[in-house]
Amino acid sequence: MEEQQPADAGAIVRAIPVEEIARILALNPIFAQFDRSALLAVAAKCRFATFEAGATIIRQGDPGNFAYVILEGEVDIFVEIPAPAEPIRMSTLGRDRTIGELGAFTDMPRTATAVARTDLRLLRIDRDSMMSIAANEPTVAIAIIGELGQRLHTMNRPLAYLTYAARELARDEYDEGILTELINQQGDLADFARDFAQMASEIREKQRRHQEMLAAASIQRSILPNPLARAGAAHAVDLYAEMHPAREIGGDFYDFFLLDERWLAFTVADVSGKGIPAALFMAVSRTVLRSVAGYTDMPARMTRANRQLAADNEACMFVTMFHGVLDLATGVLYYCNAGHNPPYLLRAGGRRERLHATSIPFGIDPDTDYPIGETMLASGDRLLLFSDGITDACSPDGEAYGNARLEHALEGVPERSATEVVSHILADNARFVGDAEKFDDITCLALHYCP
């Protein structure tokens, strides 16, 4: 048998005795059914080749007119699909396994890519040779048809299992026992079934966590107050707020409630961190603030709130907060700004003021004092409270929205209701952010004093 060079780049071919090739072929399930004369006929047409590790043996989509039988080494099988950037490794084949057998028996393009995992020694079998042998040796054709039929038979049941499992997973009715029988078998489909089962387990765990987060988000939304009814003393204010977490749940919150028929308490706060820890600290902060709220002796009340939040705070979390108490009859506003973004006070005459921090955030130092600021709201004055999720929000280019853009947006709100003010600010912020990822919670509260 002459030394020849196969079509595959990187292959090295040398002579090998026909009897030795026949003995090797007999170890393969496809050729094991051939009688000796058929085996020798096939062996006479085979060639011997070697490839170095990393070489591509066959490529998905290329025309296929030959097959390889592995003598030594291992081959990784990859399939390319449109979704992932990288091909998916389906299996690893070793000694006596056949690569690209459809190419030796049918006129079909390659359905996968084979890459040498290690240095390889292979036998190459061309389709033209197989077809000419099958024409002269009927037992060859019968054996080929029988082997391919057996493969189809052994694949249908596992594929049915996998199809059923996929449908059950889509309906959220997947049972881990569905694939037990298949996983306990041997072969490539059993390997795939194990990968599928692992994937299904991860998907169900993510679904469970997602459902838990949705439930937590629902609970968090229920904590926020209902719209303030403009009745009685509350008729003196038009108030509206929105909170939008960056994830399912967040650490921002707002609150407002009547202390009595004359005094209104309102708050916007931002807890450090994200996710579940921030949400829990948010709930605690709201509860603590409600428990101490009042219009008398406010410095002591705020100091007490800070001490409660700083006590046993092993997670070292804190909350920035603007808490105001408004006399609905006179417009007197007492406020504590614990390290929060200074709200904008928009005077009816067009002047703009900021209500700056009066102390540090709650939860940091239990011994910090919290002095109170005071101002007077006149009829027509407006307040805008917000969290830094608005000013820190970034465009796709990484530019921050900032205070300047917020102030520009505020120029268009003098005649708008509280609801319209919040909607206007959030819409302007959303247009600026565009498709950029939102990384912080956003809260906005507008209050219009109109006795």
* 4 part of a folded domain: no
112 plus 207 within the same structural domain = no
Predicted confidence at residue 84, as pLDDT, reads 63
Could you tell me the CATH number of the domain that includes residue 377? 3.60.40.10
- Asked if residue 318 belongs to a domain, the reply is yes
How many domains, the chain?
Answer: 3
Q: What angle do CA 442, 448, 451 make, to 5 degrees?
A: 155
Tokens encoding 314: 């092993």
Task: Report d(CA 283, CA 220) in Å as an integer.
Answer: 8
Max CA-CA distance within the chain? 111
- pLDDT at residue 143, as a whole number: 65
pLDDT for the residue numbered 153: 59
Helix (H) or strand (E) holding 317: none
Q: Do 205 and 256 fall within a single domain?
A: no
Low pLDDT (below 70) residues in the chain: 1-16, 29, 83-85, 103-105, 137-157, 159, 161, 181-183, 185-189, 192
User: What pLDDT is attached to residue 417?
Assistant: 92
Q: Are residues 250 and 328 in the same domain?
A: yes
| Whether 101 and 176 share a structural domain | no
Name the pairing type of β-strands 344-346 and 382-386: antiparallel
Q: What is the pLDDT of residues 153-194, one digit of tens each?
A: 566 667 676 777 777 777 777 777 777 766 676 666 677 677
Q: What is the CATH number of the domain that holds 115?
A: 2.60.120.10
Domain assignment present for residue 155? The answer is no
243 in the same domain as 337: yes
What span, in angstroms and rounded, lies between the C-alpha atoms of 441 and 386?
Answer: 10
Q: What pLDDT sits at residue 12?
A: 44
**Whether 130 and 172 share a structural domain:** no
User: What is the C-alpha to C-alpha distance for residues 299 and 325, in angstroms, rounded to an integer?
Assistant: 12
| 179 and 322 housed in the same domain | no
Q: Residue 384: what pLDDT?
A: 96
Q: Does 120 share its domain with 28? A: yes
Same domain flag for 360 and 242: yes
Q: Which residues pair with 63 in a beta bridge?
A: 109
CB 161 within 8 A of CB 181: yes
Judge whether 157 lies within some domain.
Answer: no
In-domain check, residue 292 = yes
Same domain assignment for residues 412 and 309: yes
Q: Is 160 a member of any domain?
A: no
Cα–Cα distance for residue pair 196/298, rounded to 1 Å: 61
**pLDDT for res 256:** 95
- Domain housing 58: 12-136
Do 209 and 236 share a domain, yes or no?
no
